[in-house]
Amino acid sequence: MEGTFTEWEPFIELYFELGLKYKDIKSVLSSKHNFHISERHLKRILRARGYSRHKAYFDLADMVDFIRNQLQNSGQLHGYRWMYVKCRKHRLRVRKDDVSLVLKELDPRGVSLRQARRLRRRNYFSKGPNFIWHLDSYDKLKPYGICVNGCIDGFSRKIIWLNAYTTNSDPKLFGGYYMESVQRLGGCPRVVRGDLRNREWLCQRLSAFSPYLEGASTANQRIEYWWGFLRRQCVQFWLALLGNLRENGLFDGGLLDKSLLQFCCLGLIQESLECTPHQAFKKPQRPQWLSQCDVMYSLPELYRTRDFLSPVEDEHVKLCKSECVFRLSVPCDPDVYELCNVIMAESHLSLPNDPYQAVNLYMSLREAIRAVL
């Protein structure tokens, strides 16, 4: 059994880190990998290799350093539950109570400003993964030239795509996001749910793959619920940072300023979106560890359902992609992009690694360009 276990050890470690219960690990190993093991033996093997639910916590100093770094960016918006999930996502085995205490010490003002709120939740039902996708645009950063578009699986709440770009007005761009995901996943959902924006083009093109269910944006509750979390845990930081530029007269909303912000910040905002954990959607009876959404999406049999992904033909994909628009590698106006690269080369400037460096680069480029206009 020892030699056999070595072959499946990476899978057992993965499922353990994902927070699956012992009986669920045993079930997945049996159904997915045809590897049969008793729950008692599984516990004994994991214990022999130092795996435990309640022991072997990381050193407190490592957690403090991680949280301190998170507080320098949009992590300053997180409560202790969200910060705990982020620690676990980065493979830091910590206690939730310790995270709460560290946050109180490092960010007392932020803790005092956050208040618990109780919501009356509406009932929602989806048959399984890829049965329905909810897509929508998020325009809170649009005044600064940054447009966000996202799509979420209705059952697992896994993010299908979450992209920041320079526009949200072209329905062909939505089609490009959709076709990229269809090609990446190897199929399409049974239903796509969106709002009334650009409905004619989307209905005509997406009907070849999935029925398009339209309605008011406020009733598209799965993605709207996600936007609320995204605002509190990520976007609010950028709104405050960019809002300071406007208040100080360093942003006038013109083409130049928007293009400069896109050049300096678009990549960092995309990274922030990708790093925002999916564990915002959690229920008490489900694992609170890493990648809960991925577990529900990839292992639907644990929730007594199946994957509803519908296969598509390559010819249909190619035909539809020919009518779509895709994001360009240039993050802003091409002329501004070339000018920024010239100024950076002459001034020995480098691309930013954090939001504050991005703001400094924006102000330097803005001053240099306005001086020659």
Stretch 180-202: mean pLDDT: 81
Stretch 110-122: mean pLDDT: 61
Structural contact between residues 156 and 168, judged by C-beta atoms closer than 8 angstroms: no
118 pLDDT band, cuts 50/70/90, is very low
Question: What fold is seen in the domain 132-252+266-321?
Answer: Nucleotidyltransferase; domain 5 (3.30.420)
**Confidence (pLDDT) at 359:** 96
Residue labelled with tokens 């209905």: 203
222 pLDDT band, cuts 50/70/90, is confident
- Where is pLDDT greater, at 201 or 135? 135
Lowest mean pLDDT: which of 198-212, 228-242, 320-334, 336-350?
198-212
Q: Residues with Cβ < 8 Å from 176, sequence gap 6 or more? A: 321, 324, 325, 326, 327
Structural contact between residues 298 and 158, judged by C-beta atoms closer than 8 angstroms: no
**Confidence (pLDDT) at 248:** 94
Residues β-bridged to residue 147: 165
Stretch 328-334: mean pLDDT: 93
- Of 107, 92, 97, 145, nearest to 251 (Cα)? 145
The SS3 assignment for 262 reads helix
Residue 5 has pLDDT above 90, yes or no: no
**Confidence (pLDDT) at 302:** 86
**Confidence (pLDDT) at 119:** 40
User: What phi and psi values does residue 289 have, to the nearest 5 degrees?
Assistant: -90, -140
Stretch 50-79: mean pLDDT: 80
Task: Compute the distance between CA of residue 85 and CA of residue 91 in angstroms, rounded to an integer.
Answer: 10
Residue 49 has pLDDT above 60, yes or no: yes
**Confidence (pLDDT) at 61:** 86
The overall average pLDDT reported for the chain is 83
Structural contact between residues 266 and 147, judged by C-beta atoms closer than 8 angstroms: no
> Distance from CA of residue 80 to its chain's centroid?
19
Lowest mean pLDDT: which of 141-145, 188-192, 283-287?
283-287
286 pLDDT band, cuts 50/70/90, is very low
Residue labelled with tokens 């070849």: 208
- pLDDT tens digits, 127-142: 999 999 999 999 999 9
- pLDDT tens digits, 6-22: 677 777 777 777 667 88
Residue 122 has pLDDT above 80, yes or no: no
Measured at the CA of 14, the angle between CA 43 and CA 179, to 5 degrees, comes to 150
Stretch 264-271: mean pLDDT: 95
Stretch 62-89: mean pLDDT: 84
Structural contact between residues 183 and 317, judged by C-beta atoms closer than 8 angstroms: yes
Residue 167, H or E segment: none
**Confidence (pLDDT) at 55:** 62
Residue 214 has pLDDT above 80, yes or no: no
The SS3 assignment for 30 reads helix
- Where is pLDDT greater, at 116 or 23? 23
Stretch 258-279: mean pLDDT: 87
Residue 53 has pLDDT above 50, yes or no: yes
Residues β-bridged to residue 135: 151
Residue 116 has pLDDT above 60, yes or no: no
**Confidence (pLDDT) at 108:** 86
Stretch 80-103: mean pLDDT: 84
